[in-house]
Chains A and B, each alone.
Chain A
Amino acid sequence: MIDRPDAATLLKAMAATLSDEVLPTTSGGTRHAVRIVANLCRILERELAAGPAAREQTRQSLVLLLDRDATLPELVADLDRTLQGSASIDDTTDDANFDARVRELLLADVERRLAVDRPGYAS
């Protein structure tokens, strides 16, 4: 009752087939497209494994920072609005502290996404 191979295994196989069998037979724009698709397969494979947990970690750190529980998209929009608003606020110690926490949060989030989209970029 459980399909095999699973999604991750299929994506791995798709990437390998594209790179090893299809790519050598192509050139020019098509070759470029095949490389991109193979890379996207690898990204999706990593996303299946690590994506949901990474998004939840970001969501929870936003809940702590903004003191409100909501979905990830809602919280991101909240953060963006807060940053827009702070553009006109004079720098106070509180603001500087908030700034530092925002940057720490954003960097942690970016590093988790890079592990899926471009492993090795953040080091």
Chain B
Amino acid sequence: MTGAASVGANRRTLFLEVIQRDETTKAVAQIAGNVLDGAEVENEARLLRAAEQAGVAVPHLLAVDSEMGTIISEQVEGESIPRRVLRLVEAQSGLGSKLTSDCGTALAKIHQIPTDDLRNLQDLAASDRYADEMDRLLESLTTPHPTFRLGVRWLRRHEMDGAPKPTIVHGDFRLGNFLVSDRGISAVLDWELVHLGDPMEDLAWLCLRTWRFGADDLVVGGFGSLEELRSAYEGAGGTWRKEAFQWWTVARTLWWGLGLARQTQAYMDGDSNSIVLAASGRRVVELEYDLLRLMED
């Protein structure tokens, strides 16, 4: 082991070197925190291999141990921390554009990964199930949130043009979850939330205001324009559905707002004394604002 471990919600990340004969390869080991995660790890490995085959930039898998809940992959060079990426974009002319088109291309390829061998993925395609899930989250909060109530109602009242057959959806593709080099995206990370669903969900999530980290004018992660993203996505074989993009933008804004409200609830219930959770209560209003503006028309 060569590097410090970072501790996430369910996993530990270790940096190490894999030595085979004369070759030393820098690697990253992700170790699941519990038995359930171990089973998911097998799925994730299968998905990473499929993504690599489909031409998506992902860390190359070196070893998988589903019993131990461990995935070891090659370390990829690059920066993922949002504010640092945005500084790189500011400093290098054209990088923002390149990143945006890399995002479009990567997502198009992810959405075209064949689903046949990836059976165990959760199917979250039906939009009315999504609204039900939002309702459940809302009911779990001990204080009322009228703006979010309006949001759920909006989702139910706005049917969108026909969703395609269930497709591989990354589930958390946004600034902070891919590595960036001076040539663009060097690897797409954080595949834990992958599921079967509507591909426009990924595109909407990427473009949420909350993921622009202050550079609010550039819709795609604070570094690119929607037109560039769409152009790259369609150029790589993706189908862009405008109404669905709008619906998912409302849905994911609502989801994130409710998520922050839930974090606050956990703090208020005494499940945690983390100042980060306490403070998230004062971020909820930002998502309420985003939601109200999105529902205008």
Contact = CB atoms under 8 A, between A and B. Distances in A.
Given A33-B275, A117-B282, A121-B289, A103 B295 contact: yes
A118 B145 contact: no
- Chain A at the B interface: SS class: helix
A97 interface: no
A61 B97 CA distance: 46
A118 B279 CA distance: 12
B144 A114 contact: no
B146 A80 contact: yes
Interface string B111-152: 000000000000000000000000000000001111101100
Contacts of B44: none
A84 interface: yes
B275 to A, nearest CB: 5
Interface string B48-79: 00000000000000000000000000000000
A84 B148 CA distance: 11
Given A36-B276, A83-B153, A110 B288 contact: yes
Interface of A: 32-33, 36-37, 39-40, 43, 73, 76-77, 79-80, 83-84, 86-87, 102-103, 106-107, 110-111, 113-114, 117-118, 121-122
Given A87-B153, A118-B285, A121-B289, 10 more contacts: A32-B276, A37-B275, A40-B282, A76-B143, A76-B144, A80-B145, A80-B146, A80-B149, A114-B289, A117-B283
Contacts of B153: 83, 86-87
A102 B147 CA distance: 9
Interface residues of B, number: 22
Given A87-B156, A111-B289, A114-B289, A106 B282 contact: no
B279 A106 contact: no
A77 B144 contact: yes
Contacts of B282: 40, 43, 117-118
Contacts of B149: 80, 83-84
Contacts of A114: 285-286, 289
A79 B292 CA distance: 16
B278 to A, nearest CB: 8
Nearest to A81: B144
Contacts of A102: 146, 150
23 contacts: A36-B276, A37-B275, A40-B278, A40-B279, A73-B143, A76-B143, A77-B144, A83-B149, A87-B153, A87-B156, A102-B146, A102-B150, A103-B150, A103-B292, A106-B146, A106-B150, A106-B292, A110-B285, A113-B285, A114-B285, A118-B282, A121-B286, A122-B289
B275 A117 contact: no
A103 B288 CA distance: 11
Contacts of A80: 144-146, 149
Interface in B144-185: 144-147, 149-150, 153, 156
A76 B289 CA distance: 17
A118 B289 CA distance: 11
Contacts of B146: 76, 79-80, 83, 102, 106
Among A36, A39, A79: residue with most chain B CB under 10 A: A36
A107 B292 contact: yes
Contacts of B150: 83, 102-103, 106
B59 to A, nearest CB: 24
A36 B144 contact: no
A117 B283 CA distance: 7
Contacts of B292: 103, 106-107, 110
A40 B276 CA distance: 11
Among B144, B156, B278: residue with most chain A CB under 10 A: B144
A32 B278 CA distance: 14
Given A106-B292, A110-B289, A114-B289, A39 B279 contact: yes
